[in-house]
């Protein structure tokens, strides 16, 4: 049966685009994006989804008096689509514990760093300031603690001596577009799951997942 994804976004939507393409080409097997929900009406990703015929919705956090009330409304909206997986794709809101626990094991995020390094914002500038040689992206199951959930897949990219945050971000973003579809396919296929706070891979780990765990993407 076709698996359903609900994507939550706040902006540009380039990860949405890579996930959409992966659903269309079968890189993510037997899955469709059932809806894209944004907390910002002006998010460019919404137009991209509409052009692809995907239902879109906006729930603006500024219309709610508290974080809890916003998350309750969001949860009701998401649940209407009965998703197999809820995918945070540049969703720039911190979620309440109640929301996260409702979807535990079915809620994933992509973060632009090699977690646990650089949780939070401005990861590229912080990586350059720290002088690290490698930076990257992580796909992880979401737990209540911010950017601290168990990692499913990471991709590393080199930090060049003449990098500025924008150049480094572009290199990391290309890696994000490679690993997010792979991670979603692995979770939806049942190859990996969240159990007792850890990511468990089915054994034997399928060979295509082997290469996906830590691909080093150098461009
Ligand atoms: C990405 O860098 C993602 O890692 C972070 O927000 C950004 C979203 O970009 N969480 P886009 O909207 O998918 O282009």
**Which atom from ligand 1 is nearest to the alpha carbon of 109?**
10
Token duo for residue 39: 């907390």
Average the pLDDT over 48-55 and give the result.
98
Name the more confident of 150 and 210: 150
Check the annotation: does 53 bind a ligand: no
Domain assignment present for residue 19? The answer is yes
39 annotated to bind ligand: no
Give the pLDDT band of residue 204 (cuts 50, 70, 90).
low
How confident is the model over 63-113, as pLDDT tens digits?
999 999 999 999 999 999 999 999 999 999 999 999 999 999 999 999 999
Tell me, using a 6 A CB cutoff, whether residue 147 lines ligand 1.
no
Residue from 43, 47, 41 nearest 59 by CA: 41
Residue/partner pairs of 22-29 with CB below 8 Å, 24 or more apart: 22/181, 22/184, 22/185, 27/181, 27/182, 27/185, 28/181, 28/184, 28/185, 28/188, 29/185, 29/188, 29/189
Q: Is residue 163 part of a domain?
A: yes
Residue 192 belongs to some domain of the structure? yes
Residues 83 and 34: their CA atoms lie apart, in Å, by: 8
The reply to whether ligand 1 has any atom less than 6 angstroms from the CB of 14 is yes
Confidence of residue 210 (pLDDT cuts 50, 70, 90): very low
Of all protein residues, the one whose alpha carbon is nearest to atom 6 of ligand 1 is 90
**Which atom belonging to ligand 1 lies closest to the Cα atom of 16?**
13
* Containing structural domain, residue 169: 3-201
Mutation test of ligand 1: which of 110, 113, 114, 175 has the most ligand atoms closer than 8 Å to its C-beta? Answer: 110
Q: In this structure, what CATH number is given to the domain that contains residue 105?
A: 3.40.50.170
Ligand 1: atom nearest CA of 11 is: 12
Asked if residue 89 is part of any domain, the answer here is yes
d(CA 164, CA 114): 18
Please answer whether residues 37 and 31 qualify as being in contact, where contact means their C-beta atoms are separated by less than 8 angstroms.
no
**Domain annotation covers residue 219:** no
Closest by CA to 13, choosing from 96, 92, 107, 100, is 92
Kindly state if the Cβ of 136 falls inside 6 Å of ligand 1: no
**CB of 110 shorter than 6 A to ligand 1:** yes
Instruction: Give the residue-averaged pLDDT of 125-150.
Output: 98
For residue 210, tell me if it sits in a domain.
no
The alpha helices in the chain, defined as continuous H runs, are 14-25, 44-51, 67-79, 97-102, 123-130, 165-188, 207-213
> Is the CB of residue 169 less than 8 Å from the CB of residue 178?
no
DSSP 6: E
* Average pLDDT value for residue range 144-170: 97
Confidence of residue 218 (pLDDT cuts 50, 70, 90): very low
Q: Is pLDDT above 60 for 17?
A: yes
The count of structural domains within the chain is 1
Residue 213 lies inside a defined structural domain of this protein: no
Q: Which residue has the tokens 């393409």?
A: 21
Of 217 and 142, the structure prediction assigns the larger pLDDT to 142
Residue 75 forms part of a structural domain: yes
Query: In the chain, what are the helix, strand and coil shares in percent, each to the nearest 5?
Result: 35, 25, 40
Percent of the chain with pLDDT over 70: 92
Q: Is 177 a catalytic residue?
A: no
Distance CA 162, CA 25 (A): 36
Q: Model confidence at 219, in pLDDT bands (50, 70, 90)?
A: very low
Q: What is the pLDDT of residue 4?
A: 98
14 annotated as a binding-site residue: yes
């Amino acid at each position: 049966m076709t698996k359903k994804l609900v994507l939550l976004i706040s902006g540009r939507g380039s990860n949405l685009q890579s996930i959409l393409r992966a659903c269309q080409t079968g890189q993510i097997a037997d899955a469709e994006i059932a809806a894209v929900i944004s907390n910002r009406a002006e998010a460019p990703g919404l137009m991209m989804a509409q052009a692809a015929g995907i239902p879109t919705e906006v729930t603006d956090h500024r219309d709610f008096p508290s974080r809890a009330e916003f998350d309750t409304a969001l949860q009701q909206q998401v649940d209407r689509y009965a998703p197999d997986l809820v995918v945070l794709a540049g969703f720039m809101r911190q979620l309440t514990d109640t929301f996260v626990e409702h979807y535990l094991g079915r809620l994933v995020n992509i973060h632009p760093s090699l977690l646990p390094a650089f949780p939070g914002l401005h990861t590229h500038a912080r990586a350059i300031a720290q002088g690290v040689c490698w930076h990257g992206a992580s796909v992880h199951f979401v737990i209540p603690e911010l950017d601290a959930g168990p990692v499913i897949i990471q991709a590393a990219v080199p930090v060049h001596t003449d990098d500025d945050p924008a150049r480094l971000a572009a290199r990391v973003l290309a890696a994000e577009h490679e690993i997010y579809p792979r991670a979603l396919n692995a979770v939806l296929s049942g190859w990996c799951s969240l159990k007792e706070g850890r990511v468990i891979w089915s054994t034997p780990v399928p060979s295509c997942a082997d290469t996906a765990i830590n691909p080093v993407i150098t461009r």
